[in-house]
Amino acid sequence: MVDHLDFRNGAVSTETPVSIEEFLGASNATAVRIEPGEDARALLPHLDRLALVEVSFPVFGDGRGYSSARILREAGYQGELRASGDVLVDQLFAMRRSGFDSFAPNAPLDPAVVKASLERYADVYQKTVDGRRPVWAKRHEVA
């Protein structure tokens, strides 16, 4: 069982993220944590100095963090994007597709189940920020 998942080849931050309020204040932190009700777009002017954005999932059913993640990636954020909290194995696939590349789940995950659930779907229907070519692109040989 593992309590952290990293899809960044070890390039993960060890800094403790600060709140978005603190970050946008006088802080020189390079790691920030955003809660479900907070606006990820407030971070867009500061992406260059960010090494870690931790998106909090207090309960797995609150899906606002998926939008936060995509918004950051769509704006070109290249740093670590971590989902933390009530992160369950069955949510990992959608989280990866939304741009998350590290995970700090409350409850440890079984790596074998993680692998199986991430590899289950050979193809995807939507173009998101993960670089995967959707089915329509393959059908019509477009990028």
Q: Which two tokens stand for residue 36?
A: 């479900």
Task: For residue 56, give every residue at least 6 positions away whose Cβ sits within 8 Å of its Cβ, in sequence order, or none.
Answer: 33, 34, 35, 36, 65, 84, 85
By CB under 8 A, the residues from 84 to 143 that bind another protein are 88, 90-91, 93-95, 97-98, 116-117, 120-128, 134-140, 142
Q: Shortest CA distance to 106 belongs to which of 61, 43, 56? A: 56
The phi and psi torsions of 13 (rounded to 5 degrees) equal -85, 145
**Interacting residue with another protein among 10, 28, 61, 131 (CB under 8 A):** 61
Nearer Cβ to another protein (67/78): 67
Collapsed DSSP state (helix, strand, coil) of residue 129: coil
Q: How many C-beta atoms surround the C-beta of residue 66 within 10 A?
A: 20
* Cα gap 96→6, rounded to integer Å: 11
**Interacting residue with another protein among 16, 27, 67, 78 (CB under 8 A):** 67
Q: Least distance to another protein from the beta carbon of 5, Å?
A: 17
Q: Does residue 33 touch another protein according to CB under 8 A?
A: no
Q: Residues touching another protein: how many (CB under 8 A)? A: 37
Binding residues (CB under 8 A) for another protein: these are 36, 60-64, 66-67, 70, 74, 88, 90-91, 93-95, 97-98, 116-117, 120-128, 134-140, 142
